[in-house]
Amino acid sequence: MPNFTEADKIQINDVLTGNKVDLDQELYEKLYDHFIRNGEMPYGVAKARTGDPVEWVHEHAHEVL
């Protein structure tokens, strides 16, 4: 499981509150890996067949706070 730092959590909070538009690529990949490894992200979304993985990660990022 990725170790989310305080800086990661601050960045997630900034995106959630609208102070920042998007996650940094490194943090997005960390979140994506976290949700895949935990079986939380549906396979079809992870493969961009039934949904957008970027949107999904943004919608669920609060779960690691």
Predicted TM-score (pTM) of the model is 0.91
pLDDT of 1 over the 60 cut: no
Q: Please, what sign has the CA dihedral across residues 18, 14, 54, 44? A: negative
> pLDDT at residue 2 above 80?
no
> pLDDT of 10-54, one tens digit each?
999 999 999 999 999 999 999 999 999 999 999 999 999 999 999
Q: How many CA atoms lie within 13 A of 26 on its CB side?
A: 6
Indicate the residue type of 17. T
pLDDT at 38: 94
- Give kind and range of the element (H or E) at residue 12: helix 6-16
